[in-house]
Structure 1
């Protein structure tokens, strides 16, 4: 978070996020977990890799850090099957973290974006 001085970024409105890119050569449930910050192509930071998140339609889910695994099980266990949406396997999941000052990490607000095809 020192890379962006802890400031919220313009698209995700958070200073820290994770992108889960599906590994092409691996099994269906294997992902490359990239912890990072949002940056423009002209703001490349020396010594770090840059990953591009292509445009997509995303379903958004809100939870806390404590309930994030329960939310993930809900998304993949029943939400997809009850809505008719399919996950876009060519796009990454994005998870944005919103720490709450002076509060335990379990209370941190989390926003999941899951790429979908309707």
Structure 2
């Protein structure tokens, strides 16, 4: 199982599926609740505020930890929908289970085994699970 919290454009993660099951929360791009101000990141770099720079840039990438921890401590199962591409997800074409949904996180192996690429939406703060 692979969870992609950010798209490769930000320098972290992968854009292409590589595992038997790949999850892309919020499309795998910028995560809700994370800063996305390039000018602010550059200002932090210029003024020597490395901690602020790392926190801002890494927020989306590190969200995977929050999501996984919540998948352990919450009754919510992070239902994820099969989807062929980011374009289909953005177009709203990935909102039904079709051949079957999969759970992201701790409960990912419950039920029958899944293969493929799955997308889901989350909230920007805890509780992250949007179901």
Q: Which has the higher strand share?
A: 1
Query: Whose helix fraction is larger, Structure 1's or Structure 2's?
Result: 2
TM-score, with normalisation over the residues of structure 1?
0.29
